[in-house]
Chain A
Amino acid sequence: MSMGSCALRNGSTVTVTVHFQGDFMKLSRTIIAAAFIAATASLHAQSINDAQIASIVVTANQVDIDAGNLAEKMGSTADVKAFGKQMVTDHTGVNKSAVDLVTKLKVTPEDNATSMSLKDGGAKNVANLKTLKGKAFDKAYIDHEVAYHQQVLDAVDKVLIPNAKNEELKALLVKVRPAFVAHLDHAKHVQEMVSK
């Protein structure tokens, strides 16, 4: 077991405990989750504005589109390929709605700790997936999708919806939330099939 600390901008500290179980993917997921939680906790403490929320929404969708594109090409089963394709379709649709709305509201998405953390985590995930093939790819991809959708849902519930000031932006977040729940359920189902 290893323990580390992550200092936040507001001066508080998040302690991350990692349990080594001889499973690299579990370690990787724990680190991704810890970074995401630390970043959103930081924003929560600082109060987040609509331009930052817009950036997080667009980035969160784009990260899953990138991973989905890869799964569509490199997945070894029809279920994994289909799930990847659906993530591309759905998150592209959500992003179009988000971009249409912020354009209408004349809001320019603003980079922040959470969106940068998402972007960085997404790039690392894609780089890791590109080194894998067959069942190892399927497992790593779908495990990450389960963890990722859970983290995005937590951020939607605890940070994005409570802090959104514009009513239309808040309504969009509320409207697309069930899609993330459906994706999480679907990802768990594919995860069970991949584990067999």
Chain B
Amino acid sequence: MASGIRAGALLALAVCGLMGCGHPARPQPVTHTVTIDAVHFQPATITVRVGDTVVWVNKDPFPHTVTAASGNLSSPDIGASDSWRWTATSAGDLPYVCKYHPTMTGTVTVAP
């Protein structure tokens, strides 16, 4: 009898795991790419989720940075043909610039 209850409970857990039981499974983290080309961030605005990674790829022949006034979004120099990876750890809007080229602006919106 007891083993029958245990088997039933395990089955319920397995079904719950497969179906979600009303709690949607958290999406797998995704990697997004922002291209730096001709002194522009492309796309200039991007929306990601906590846990996602953003890669900035510099296609210009000189260095750029990704520098936000707040949060932990702050790259070192990203040289020509180099890239820099950053993983979102908390929700919020992060406007950023290239500290060498203040006309270059972008925003990362991090959804929970």
Residues of A within 8 A of B (CB): 86, 89-90, 92-94, 96-97, 174-179, 181-182, 185-186, 189
Main secondary structure of the interface of B (DSSP, over half): loop
Q: Give the contacting residue for B103; candidates A93, A96, A97, A182; CB below 8 A.
A: A182
A178→B60 CA distance, assembly (Å): 11
Also in contact, A93 and B60, with CB within 8 A (given A182-B101, A186-B103): yes
Nearest B residue (CB) for A174? B38
**Residues of chain A with a CB closer than 8 A to B104's CB:** 182
Instruction: Establish whether residues B37 and A175, one from each chain, have CB atoms under 8 Å apart when the complex forms.
Output: yes
Give 1 or 0 for each of B50-84: 1 = CB within 8 Å of chain A CB: 00000000001111000000000000000010000
State whether A178 touches B62 (Cβ < 8 A): no
Most chain A CB within a 10 A radius of its CB, from B38, B61, B101: B61
Interface string of B18-46 (1 = CB under 8 A from A): 00000000000000000001111000000
Chain A contact surface mostly: helix
Cα distance A174–B39 in the bound complex, in angstroms: 12
Kindly state the interface size class of chain B when it binds its partner. Answer: 10 to 19
CB of A97 within 8 A of CB of B61, answer yes
Q: Is the pair A90, B62 in contact by a Cβ cutoff of 8 Å?
A: yes
Q: Answer whether A185 and B103 are a contact pair too, CB < 8 Å, given A175-B37, A178-B40.
A: yes
CA distance A175 to B38 in the complex (A): 5
Compute how far the CA of A187 lies from the CA of B103 in the bound complex, rounded to whole angstroms.
12
- State the total of A-B contacts with C-beta under 8 angstroms: 43
Name the residue in A177, A182, A185 with the highest tally of chain B Cβ atoms < 10 Å from its Cβ. Answer: A182
When the two chains form the complex, which single residue of B37, B40, B80, B102 contacts A93, counting CB atoms closer than 8 Å?
A: B80
28 pairs, CB–CB < 8 Å, chain A vs chain B: A86-B100, A89-B63, A89-B100, A90-B100, A93-B60, A93-B61, A93-B62, A93-B63, A94-B61, A94-B62, A96-B61, A174-B38, A175-B60, A176-B38, A176-B61, A177-B38, A178-B38, A178-B40, A179-B38, A179-B60, A179-B101, A181-B103, A182-B101, A182-B103, A182-B104, A185-B103, A186-B102, A189-B102
State whether B62 touches A179 (Cβ < 8 A). yes
Contacts of B40 in A (CB 8 A): 178
| Chain A, Cβ-Cβ closest to B62 | A93
- Which A residues are in CB contact (< 8 Å) with B103? 181-182, 185-186
Chain B residues lying within 8 Å of A90, measured Cβ to Cβ, are 62, 100
Min Cβ gap A149→B in Å is 13
Residue of chain B at shortest CB distance from A91: B62
Nearest CB of chain A from residue B33's CB, rounded to whole Å = 19
Q: How far is the CA of A175 from the CA of B102 in the complex (A)?
A: 18
| Chain A positions within 8 Å of B80 at CB level | 93
Q: Are A89 and B62 in contact (CB under 8 A)?
A: yes
